[in-house]
Chain A
Amino acid sequence: MNLRLRTPFSAAVAIAIGLIVLVSLLFPDFTDLRNRILNWAILLAAVALLLGFANLFQVHFQKMRHGEKPVYSLILLAGMLVTFIITFWEGSQGFTASWIFNSIQLPIETSLMAVLAISLTIAAARLFQQRKDLMSIVFLVTLFVLLLSSGPLFGIELPLFTRTIGPYVNNFLSVGALRGLLIGVSIGTLATGLRILLGADRPYGG
């Protein structure tokens, strides 16, 4: 009986909520109701974040039990638990929580981005060793043009690139392509919303 009732019930709830939010954008009288529903969604999202935390803990705990690279899982679990407990105890603005963030997380992420910059440079330099087709040439020519127009090279500015070619690429070619992309994304979002409102798509299950 639960199985039979669950699908139409959840579909009815989802469609009704979607219609209320949609109508509230057209009629200001429904703004309070819409904000209340959105706050429910925010709370559910926060709970989902907590569930993600629990799932990560479970996965690495199982890995540690089965001996699949247990050292890494142990370090992850220890760091996760310590940070969670400290932040839960003194808040995200506390001294220890801020120290963990500023001394561990931020330098590591910034260093990874620096390494990524070097890796991309090496990959572009070795591109012709791996591939020498037409698309590689197009890619490298575009890269050269944009790098030359990004600023002065070794202190020398090339006005042809920085004043003419660079702005043309950024304001016409790039914007044209991105507008097409954004219109496609908008149409796709609209179609997805309509399908959910009509019950054709049920990402909530059923």
Chain B
Amino acid sequence: MSYHSNQDPEKNLPDWLKALRRQQSKETPQPKGAKSEPPKPAAQEPDEEEPNWLREIRERYGRPETKQETPGTEETESPLSDTQPIPASRAVETRPKPSKPKLAEEPPAEEPVIAEPQAETPQRDFPDWLDDLGEPEVGEEKQEEGADTHIPAFPQGSEELTPGELPSWLQAIRPGGAFPQEDTRSGEMLPGVQETAGPLAGLSDVLTAEPEAIQSVKPPIYSARLELTDSQSRHVAAFKKLLDEEGRPKEDLGRRAALPARLLNSFLGAALILAVLLPLLNQSQLVPRPEPDFLPESAEVFNRIDTLPAAAPVLIAFDLQPTLYGETKAAASAVFAHLLDRQARLVFISTQPTGPAVAERLLQEELATLPAIATGDYTNLGYLSGGMAALRSFLSDPRSAALSVTALGMNPWTSSTLESINSVSNFALVVIVSSNADDARIWIEQGAAELPNGLIAVTSAQAAPLLRPYLLSQPQTLQGLVSGVQGAVFYERLRSLDGTGRAMWDSYSYGLGAILLLILLGGLYGRLIHMRPEKETTTVSNRAN
């Protein structure tokens, strides 16, 4: 270690290190004549027992054993070597004396064998050209300067300067203020505690290797008994009660809930059936019929039919499904009866598989007494399969359409009714009878342009709202509409007749009222049912609290 400064390094040492050295010097008194008596190197003793392989290595590299004792092989001390605890045997030999730096005068043979020269090994790794260039000179210089490489920390004859002492002129120009003369933090950071563990054992004023924070302490033993307050005990009891109620089977509760529900359902069904059946059985006709201006769209149907010429061919698209036959038959029979009274020649066709059968049933059940039906003076083209495409084909060219009746060997176009029909525009009127709004919508959308005489519809009550946009459009694509029982009764009133609609009207009125009343009572009952459990729940929660 060389110093390029002329200052005394011992004086630059911190206080704690100075104290450490003082303490060590007290603990290990320096024996007299230690320097004159070279210690026997520890590594020389095992030379006699040195294994052959180690000896071969030494001989191969041609390194004389005495080379370790040359001054050039002096052990390079680490910068912190002076802070480490020094073995007693070595402390005497290696610890430098600050006041008398005579390390260079000490014989190199005193260096222990363990401290092998590390500076020589890299010279072996140098390339040959580099060795040729500088190795001999460097080696010579090193050998020559071997004694001079140890620069004394305190060169003789140099003037010792006290660190921190400023000249008076410098102190005069410095800004005012008090400056600490020594580092006051050292006392706080390095308390005077002696290390007891680890590599720094025995040193004082060092940071402790095992701080108190990580020292294990035997955990305290707590009692296993739970101590509860009165409030906690009450909460535990309430919670236990809740759990017990949850774990109880709910069969009884389900029976209690199912019985009123079943009774309510039975009561609702029975009341509704009675409200509908009693007027039918009584043949009551007490409920007034709608006024003549109540349904203008139905009045339009009446006007169109009433102005038909005699023996006019009328196409009836009968797409009524059996499901809603009971409701729609009243309106359909009223309109058909009017057509037959006007001596219209009826032609039936259906895009539903069950349509022809339903149409036949309606004619035989409601209108069998009329002469045209009784004599069979009507034409049933049957089922037109293919949906919208088939309808498009039929509207374009009715005679080329694939009809179900042709499969039976009949040719309907040869009948007196259809002789003059070459296109759908030849029909005086087209009537759509449908229970489904979609079926009627297809007829309207596909046939409105092909039917200059217009379209009218007879539908169930559920289809009427969906067809109303076509009824109110400009220009009208649907000229008239009779829907449901109400439309049937209104149409019968226009015709001053009492038909199927009138027989159903009282039943319809009472059934409607019963439905409204039952929904109202059911809603109130539902509110009561909901209020009762809320009350019980609130009571339970209040008890638990």
Closest Cβ of chain B: how far from A142's Cβ, in Å?
12
Chain A residues 108 to 153 lying within 8 A of chain B, measured CB to CB, are: 109-110, 112-114, 117-118, 121-122, 124-130, 132, 140, 143-144, 147-148, 150-153
Quick one: which of B390, B466, B509 contacts A38, CB cutoff 8 A? B390
Quick one: which of A34, A93, A106, A182 contacts B322, CB cutoff 8 A? A106
A118–B268 CB distance below 8 A: yes
* Alpha-carbon gap, A107 to B518, bound state (A): 27
The verdict on A92 contacting B322 (CB below 8 Å), with A31-B396, A122-B268 known, is no
Asked if B526 CB lies within 8 Å of chain A CBs, one says yes
* Alpha-carbon gap, A154 to B356, bound state (A): 37
Asked if A192 CB lies within 8 Å of chain B CBs, one says no
B268–A45 CB distance below 8 A: no
B509–A125 CB distance below 8 A: no
Q: Give the residues in chain A near B393, CB-CB below 8 Å.
A: 35, 38-39, 42
Nearest-CB residue, chain B, relative to A105: B322
The verdict on A178 contacting B272 (CB below 8 Å), with A105-B354, A153-B512 known, is no
Closest Cβ of chain B: how far from A161's Cβ, in Å?
11
A92–B356 CB distance below 8 A: yes
The verdict on A45 contacting B385 (CB below 8 Å), with A121-B515, A153-B513 known, is yes
Closest Cβ of chain A: how far from B165's Cβ, in Å?
92
Asked if A22 CB lies within 8 Å of chain B CBs, one says no
A151–B486 CB distance below 8 A: yes
Q: Bits for A66-108, please: 1 = Cβ < 8 Å to B, else 0.
A: 0000000000000000000000000111000110011001100
* Alpha-carbon gap, A152 to B288, bound state (A): 8
Q: Give the residues in chain B near A102, CB-CB below 8 Å.
A: 357, 361
Instruction: Classify the secondary structure of A's interface with B.
Output: helix
B510–A92 CB distance below 8 A: no
Q: Which of B7-15, B231-239, B240-248, B400-408 contacts A (4 or more CB under 8 A)?
A: B400-408
A38–B389 CB distance below 8 A: yes
* Alpha-carbon gap, A104 to B272, bound state (A): 25
Q: How many residues of A contact B (CB 8 A)?
A: 57
Q: Give the residues in chain A near B392, CB-CB below 8 Å.
A: 38
The verdict on A42 contacting B390 (CB below 8 Å), with A92-B356, A98-B360, A147-B516 known, is yes
Asked if B155 CB lies within 8 Å of chain A CBs, one says no
A157–B268 CB distance below 8 A: no
A-binding residues in B (CB < 8 A): 261, 264-265, 268-269, 272-273, 286-288, 290, 294, 321-326, 354, 356-358, 360-361, 380, 382-387, 389-390, 392-393, 396-397, 400-402, 404, 408, 461, 465-466, 468-469, 472, 486, 506, 508-510, 512-513, 515-516, 518-523, 525-527, 529-530
Query: What are 26 inter-chain pairs, A to B, with CB distance below 8 A?
Result: A38-B390, A38-B392, A39-B393, A39-B400, A98-B361, A106-B358, A106-B361, A110-B326, A112-B323, A118-B268, A121-B268, A121-B519, A122-B264, A124-B522, A125-B525, A126-B261, A127-B522, A132-B526, A143-B519, A144-B516, A147-B516, A148-B516, A150-B512, A153-B516, A155-B510, A174-B465
Besides A93-B408, A130-B526, A132-B526, 6 other A-B contacts (C-beta < 8 A): A35-B393, A114-B326, A117-B272, A118-B273, A121-B518, A124-B519
